[in-house]
């Protein structure tokens, strides 16, 4: 699966698009597009890939993805297929960097907007009060018409500029080099990992998938993702454990082994390192 350039459709009567996606338990794909993307996840959890950033995403996350920045939202398969709350649901805004005219963002008054669009080139995760405010503005944007659409989008960008309640995602030095065979290779690694994280994975196995010897594979993966393969694998396993812990009918040992950990003490230690909580406390916190 190559990294794909997607053409984002736009209605003739609008200069940018906003839509609500309801996707019943299917995975996205590793892709990029010239349009900037603002996405609000109302339902569904999973693993997000933004440039060289790999992390879990959760309900109510809001992310701004810059022009031509590769990204991929891989939704979890739900524990209970009947639960409608498991079906991914998101609001997505796409707009070209110059949809308001080539010289608009270069006007001195619009430097804040230009600054946000440049920062979006690394991907931005919103938090705190900023996230709550943007969620409300996006809800209004979905129903806005005429000049109000553009004004609301500008307001959102200005809110981001004036706040420090956001986290940069991909690294400062990230460059999109995942083209052609390189994209195939990293995607093969991702797919193998997602399909097999519940079992013991040997370094030789994943190195063979990538067409490399183990030492070369380790260097390659670290250079492409900014983390070791073991760190990546552990994040995937802990993320799966987080999903299982939401079901009180699954005991902790089952969560441990179904997530691919070989012993409970290792599971407990790695889980706390990544989440800041023990598995028991995490289950209590999500239960409310």
Q: What whole-number distance in Å separates Cα of residue 115 and Cα of residue 107?
A: 12
The reply to whether 181-287 shares the fold of 4-168 is: no
Dihedral over Cα of 213, 215, 221, 224: its sign: negative
Work out the mean pLDDT of the chain and round it to a whole number. 86
Residue 203: pLDDT band with limits 50, 70, 90: very high
Q: Residue ranges per domain, the chain? A: 4-168, 181-287
Percent of the chain with pLDDT over 90: 52
Say whether pLDDT at 164 is over 70: yes
Query: pTM value?
Result: 0.75
- 46 vs 288, which has greater pLDDT? 46
Domain range 4-168, CATH architecture: Sandwich (2.60)
Q: What whole-number distance in Å separates Cα of residue 207 and Cα of residue 215?
A: 9
Residue 5: pLDDT band with limits 50, 70, 90: low
Say whether pLDDT at 81 is over 60: no
Q: What whole-number distance in Å separates Cα of residue 128 and Cα of residue 140?
A: 19
pLDDT (tens digit, 9 = 90+) per residue, 116-163? 999 999 999 999 999 999 999 999 998 999 999 999 999 999 999 999
Length of the chain (residues): 288
Q: What whole-number distance in Å separates Cα of residue 95 and Cα of residue 101?
A: 12
- List, in order, residues 6 or more apart from 283 with CB less than 8 Å away: 245, 246, 248
pLDDT at 28: 63
pLDDT at 82: 42
Residue 75: pLDDT band with limits 50, 70, 90: confident
Please give the full DSSP string across 208-272, using - where no structure is assigned.
HHHTS-HHHHHHHHHHHHSS-HHHHHHHHHHHHHHHHHT-TTS-HHHHHHHTT-SSHHHHHHHHH
Pick the CATH number of 181-287 from 3.50.50.60, 1.10.1040.10, 1.10.10.60, 3.30.70.2660: 1.10.10.60
């Amino acid at each position: 699966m190559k990294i794909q350039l997607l053409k984002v459709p736009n209605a003739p009567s609008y200069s940018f698009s906003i839509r609500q996606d309801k996707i019943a338990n299917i995975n996205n794909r590793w892709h990029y597009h010239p349009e900037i993307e603002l996405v609000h996840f109302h339902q569904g959890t999973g693993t997000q890939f933004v440039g060289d950033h790999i992390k879990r995403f959760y309900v109510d996350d809001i992310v701004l993805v810059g022009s031509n920045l590769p990204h991929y939202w891989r939704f979890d398969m739900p524990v209970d297929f009947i639960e409608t709350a498991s079906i991914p649901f998101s609001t997505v805004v796409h707009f070209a960097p110059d949809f308001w005219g080539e010289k608009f963002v270069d006007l001195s008054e619009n430097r804040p907007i230009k600054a946000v669009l440049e920062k979006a080139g690394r991907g931005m995760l919103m938090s705190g009060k900023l996230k709550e405010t943007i969620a409300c503005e996006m809800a209004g944007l979905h129903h806005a018409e005429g000049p109000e659409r553009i004004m609301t989008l500008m307001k959102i960008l200005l809110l981001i500029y004036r706040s420090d309640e956001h986290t940069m995602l991909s690294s400062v030095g990230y460059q999109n080099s995942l083209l052609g065979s390189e994209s195939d290779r990293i995607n093969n690694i991702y797919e193998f990992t997602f399909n097999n994280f519940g079992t013991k994975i040997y370094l030789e196995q994943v190195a063979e998938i990538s067409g490399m010897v183990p030492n070369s594979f380790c260097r390659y993966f670290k250079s492409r993702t900014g983390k070791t393969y073991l760190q990546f694998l552990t994040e995937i396993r802990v993320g799966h454990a987080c999903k299982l812990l939401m079901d009180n009918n699954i005991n902790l040992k089952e969560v441990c082994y179904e997530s691919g950990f070989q012993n409970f003490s290792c599971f407990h230690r790695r889980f706390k390192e990544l989440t800041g909580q023990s598995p028991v406390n995490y289950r209590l916190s999500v239960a409310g």
